Amino acid sequence: MDFQFSEEQRDFQRTLRDFVDKEIKPVASEMEKSGEYPTEIVEKLKAMGLFGMTVPEEYGGLDLDPVSFAIVFEELARGWMGIAGTLGSHSLSCWMIAHFGTDDQKNRYLPALATGERRTGVGLTEPDAGTDLQGIRSTAVLDGDHYIVNGSKTWITNARHADPLPIMVKTDPQADPRHKGMSILLMDADTPGYEVLRDIGKLGYKGPESCEVVMKNARVPVANLLGGVEGRGMQQALPALESGRVNIAARSVGIAQAAYDAALDYARERTAFGKPIADFQAIQLKIADIATELQAARLMTYWAASEQAGGRRADMQSGMAKYFSSEVAIKASLEAMRIHGGYGYSTEYVVERLYRDAPLMAIGEGTNDIMRMVIAKSLVSGRDSIG
């Protein structure tokens, strides 16, 4: 087993790390406190081509391999997890269009999505349907060459900038099993009857907006049915979510790395009883735990990414990586706060932001309890094994 990046991947990581250290870390805390949208940083992400990470080269994208994809999200989250959010659902949506879209849909959307001229997200979650996607209530009724769409979505990242926004709907509410009646429509931002409502207040994950979206008799052309065939929505969304779990795992590693860096630096500088607190065994044990679990999370994340890079089904691997790494991020941010003592509770230090950002990693792209069920199902079925 090879646990090393290629030289090309290592150079890519260095470029991203330098960018994060110079352009994101110095401004992240102040921008997060002020609620300012990171417009300048987003423009620089565009210039680097990162909005085209999952877009094929023929449409102007980078078409990154899964390992390089994970590198992007680890490094960005190390600087500010919110910035990673501007690319997360955008990249997932681009992946779906690239893999399942019709030739017309790819030609219409992907070139502008690759440059960031257009942005996108994913409209799956509803007020009464998060983990259970088959429980969505949004419907699309065929009316000539359009679908009439009614329903609502919530917690939609990038909603105010998404054009198009792929939305999951029921084109056949009576289908049995339910997933055979589900489809994805590409909702253009200027569609009459489609409206982005309020931004949802959040504990952390500041920067990108998370919004409520409503469709009231919105008319969507049949040409915007993803893939051109009804009933394929779940088949299109689930593989994308598998990639999304590696994204979340990598973000978690970035948060944990930032927590470790902050804790170690502070322990070396802070003195008590005449010496650095890093000399005290109690602090050393915390640092050792953070470092060990961080490295385990990183290896698991890139193991899952390498499985995807090999073209293998990786729902168990990505589930393990997302579950374990997100729990490590939560623990690392808490332990870093404890090492900082009272200062860890202050908004003057980065660890309080990490502590607020980390819990989302255990919720996004499927809760960790669901991840445990995905892992167990793969093992019990015999499709995957350990050892």
191 neighbors 164 (Cβ within 8 angstroms): no
Active-site entry in 32, 293, 307, 365: 365
Tokens 């948060």 map to which residue? 255
How far apart (Å, rounded) are the C-alpha atoms in residues 154 and 200? 9
Q: Residue 377, class by beta-carbon neighbours within 10 Å (0-12 exposed, 13-18 middle, 19+ buried)?
A: middle
Q: What number of residues does the chain have?
A: 387
How far apart (Å, rounded) are the C-alpha atoms in residues 114 and 55? 6
Distance of CA 273 to the CA centre of its chain: 44
**Token couple for 245:** 């779990």
105 neighbors 97 (Cβ within 8 angstroms): yes
258 neighbors 78 (Cβ within 8 angstroms): yes
For the question of residue 74 being annotated catalytic, the response is no
Nearest residue to 244 (alpha-carbon basis) of 342, 364, 350: 364
Structural Rg of the chain based on CA atoms: 21
Q: Which residues are catalytic?
A: 365
